[in-house]
């Protein structure tokens, strides 16, 4: 068996780093689009803001799941 590449050390930290990419992009998109929506339609501020926070919570949940997985399954 030939080994092309090997990763040693704290794999949990690397895994969380990778898992945080997606939510990071997602949260950026949510707030970017949210601010744009408020700029276009300031009178819908309340509704936009509610949905913005809800979307943020959903994306953040993924980041937190990614944080927990190394603790649970990491050996």
The number of residues that bind another protein (CB under 8 A) is 20
Binding residue (CB under 8 A) for another protein from 1, 4, 39, 72 = 72
Residue placing its CB nearer to another protein in the complex, 25 or 47: 47
Binding mask 29-58 for another protein (x = CB under 8 A): -------------xx-xxx-xx--xx-xxx
Tokens of 23: 């939510």
Phi and psi at 29, nearest 5°, equal: -65, -45
Tokens of 54: 């809800």
Show Cβ contacts of residue 22 under 8 Å, excluding neighbours closer than 6 positions. 62
Which one, of 31, 30, 23, lies nearest residue 59 by Cα?
A: 23
Catalog residues that contact another protein under the rule CB under 8 A. 42-43, 45-47, 49-50, 53-54, 56-58, 60-61, 64-65, 68-69, 72-73
């Amino acid at each position: 068996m030939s080994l092309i590449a090997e990763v040693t050390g704290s794999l949990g930290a690397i895994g969380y780093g990778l898992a945080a990419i997606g939510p990071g992009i997602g949260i950026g998109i949510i707030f970017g689009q949210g601010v744009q929506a408020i700029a276009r339609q300031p009178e819908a501020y309340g509704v936009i803001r509610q949905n913005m926070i809800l979307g943020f919570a959903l994306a953040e949940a993924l980041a937190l799941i990614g944080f927990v997985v190394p603790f649970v399954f990491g050996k």
